[in-house]
DNA sequence: GCCAACGTTGGC
DNA sequence: GCCAACGTTGGC
């Protein structure tokens, strides 16, 4: 089983929004970066996810989620008016079926747990176990990234300690 | 609001 | 293939 970190701006889609979704499950749409897409293609049902809140007053990991469905076409790519609309990408077929080789993919994730307090980015920077974590690398802005089992466990342990 | 870092685009 | 211009991300 693999471990991941996925970023979302809480003003757009927060961990609480995921918890309140039908079946506490929602598609992770809107990813428009090839490397992030490729990581999503590697995800398997049951993989564990650190749900990270970005671009907010206190950036950090808010809780955890689990991959509930493996990569499938992201329909927002051919939804005119959607922020993720990609007019250059493959468009759906005449009956509206997804394109044969869609450019953008999404997975479904299910809410697992909300931490009592988020494990903040500032705190994570001080955790020795997280040295080398993709999130903490200078200039890193990948919205979907791999996390080692040890890094995942370290964040969980820290969340339990707060 | 600022700005560094990064990714993409498009001319050549 | 190079690279300047531009747009986006995201912390601060």
Q: Which nucleotide is nearest to A58 (CA to C1')?
A: C11
Q: Which of residues 5-34 of A touch strand B (CB under 7 A)?
A: 33-34
pLDDT value at residue A80: 80
Q: Does nucleic acid strand C have an atom less than 7 angstroms from the CB of A59? A: yes
pTM of the prediction?
Answer: 0.94
Q: Which helix (H) or strand (E) holds A29?
A: none
Give the three-state DSSP class for A75.
helix
The answer to whether A65 touches A110, Cβ cutoff 8 Å, is: yes
List of chain A residues with pLDDT < 50: none
Could you tell me the domains of chain A?
3-158 (3.10.590.10)
pLDDT value at residue A161: 79
Q: Which nucleotide is nearest to A141 (CA to C1')?
A: C9
pLDDT digits (tens, 9 = 90+) for A135-147: 999 999 999 999 9
Protein-covered nucleotides on strand B (Cβ within 7 A): 4-9
Q: The tokens 């300690």 sit on which residue?
A: A161
pLDDT value at residue A9: 97
């Amino acid at each position: 089983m693999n471990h991941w970190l996925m970023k979302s701006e809480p003003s757009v889609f927060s961990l609480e929004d995921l918890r309140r979704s039908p079946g506490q499950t929602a598609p992770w749409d809107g990813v428009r970066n090839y490397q992030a897409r490729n990581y999503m293609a590697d995800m398997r049902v049951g993989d564990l996810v650190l749900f990270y809140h970005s671009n907010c007053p206190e950036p950090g990991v808010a809780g955890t989620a689990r991959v509930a469905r493996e990569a499938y076409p992201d329909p927002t790519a051919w939804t005119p008016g959607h922020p993720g609309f990609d007019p250059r990408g493959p468009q759906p077929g005449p009956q509206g079926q997804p394109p044969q080789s869609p450019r953008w993919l999404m997975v479904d994730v299910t809410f697992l747990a909300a931490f009592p307090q988020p494990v903040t980015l500032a705190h994570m920077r001080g955790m020795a176990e997280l040295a080398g974590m993709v999130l903490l690398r200078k200039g890193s802005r990948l919205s979907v990234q791999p996390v080692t089992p040890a890094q995942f466990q370290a964040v969980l342990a820290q969340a339990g300690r707060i």
